[in-house]
Structure 1
Amino acid sequence: MKHVVAMWGTNCRSEEELAAFARPGYTEDGDAIPSEFMSSTGLSWIDEDFMEVHLLPDEESREAFVQYLKQDYASDPDRFAPQVPDSLGESMAPYPSVIVLHGNDSRYGSVNEVLFSLAESGSEVGQQPVPLIAKIVYETEER
C-alpha cells in the first residue's frame, strides 16, 4: 500500500489558535464550512481523522517532533523513517506550528488521496500563508 504524509507550516502561536485554524465550521443545516487551513491550502475535502496539529514553539520541541515522526508516527517506521528528510527540522524552524495529514491508497478505499498529487515546488518560506514544507511518500505491504 502506498502512503503519503504531508506537512504544512503555520504561524499559529497557541493551541487555541491552531485548533481554530484547523477546525471546520458548520452551517445551521449541518453542512461543513472549510476551515481556514483548508481554504489557505486549496484543499476542498480531507478526512480529519488522519490529521494532526502540533505546536512547536522552539528547537527542542521540533527535534522531539522529528523523533516522534521517525519512531512512532507510522505503522511501519522502518519504511517511513528513511523517507523523512534530514532537513525537516530546519524546514519547520520558521513556523511555530505544523499541520500533518496522512493519506493512503488502500485496496479498501483511499484516504486523503489528493495528498499524492500535491506539488512540492513553489512552497517557499513566506510566499504562502500555509506552505507545504514536506511531502513524504512510502510503501508498505498490504495486509
Structure 2
Amino acid sequence: MMTKAQYVVAVWLANFNHEKELRNYLEVRYDEDGNSQSGFGHAVGLQHFDSDFLEHTSFTNGMRPEEIINGFSFSEYFKNDLSTMISHDTLYDHNTIIFLYGKQDRYGAINEHVFTLANSPWRQLPFSFIGTVKFEIENQ
C-alpha cells in the first residue's frame, strides 16, 4: 500500500567565522535531567528537535542558490521553490545555510513543530529565517 509522507524543510542563512563555531551553536546538549538544549534551538524557539534531521553547509560568495541547495536530502523535491526564496543579495551577507526537516507519515511525526514555523511571528535571530517549503514523498 502506497501512502504519502508529508515533509517540511525550514531554512536559515547564517554567518559563522569557522566550522567549530557553527557546530557548537548547533550541538544539542543534555542537562542532568535529560532535557535537550542548543543555541540554535533556543534562538528559533524549539525546545526539542531531532538533530538527525538537521543539515548545514558553508558556501562562498558568488555561488548560486541552486549550487548551494543541490546535494541536500530531498533537495530534488524543494530546490525549485527554495531557489526562488533566496536571492543573490540575501546570500551576500551569509556564509552558511541550515536545513531542519519535519516529517509526518503513518508511522508518526518527527520534528512536527517545524510545520508551524511558517506561521510563527518573526523574531530577531542571529541569522535569517528564509522560510519553509512543504513537499510530499510516496511511502512504500
TM-score by length of 1: 0.78
CA deviation map 1:15-69 (0-9, x unaligned): 1110000002233x36244111111111111001110121123223855212334
Partner of 1:84: 82
CA deviation map 1:54-110 (0-9, x unaligned): 1123223855212334xxx318x2x43443332425333322212211111111011
Partner of 2:135: 138
Contact 1:6-1:135 at 8 Å conserved across structures: yes
Partner of 2:9: 5
CA deviation map 1:91-130 (0-9, x unaligned): 3332221221111111101111101101267658xx4323
Contact 2:10-2:131 at 8 Å conserved across structures: yes
Comparing both structures, which one devotes a greater share of its residues to strand? 2
Percent identity, please.
Answer: 27
Report how far residue 136 of structure 1 moved: 0.8
Q: Distance in 2 between matches of 1:137 and 1:74?
A: 11
| Residue segments in structure 2 that go unaligned for 5+ positions in a row | none
Q: Distance in 2 between matches of 1:96 and 1:57?
A: 6
Partner of 1:55: 58
Q: Distance in 1 between matches of 2:85 and 2:118?
A: 18
Contact 1:8-1:132 at 8 Å conserved across structures: yes
Change (3 A) 1:64 1:12: same
User: How many aligned residue pairs are there?
Assistant: 135
Change (3 A) 1:14 1:63: farther
SS of equivalent residue, structure 1 residue 101: strand
Q: How does 1:23-38 map to 2 (within 5 A)?
A: 23-27=27-31, 29=32, 31-38=34-41
Change (3 A) 1:55 1:84: same
Report how far residue 7 of structure 1 moved: 0.9
SS of equivalent residue, structure 2 residue 108: coil
Contact 1:66-1:88 at 8 Å conserved across structures: no
- Select 2:20's aligned residue among 11, 16, 21: 16
Contact 2:69-2:79 at 8 Å conserved across structures: no
Q: Root-mean-square deviation (CA), in Å?
A: 2.6
Partner of 2:46: 43
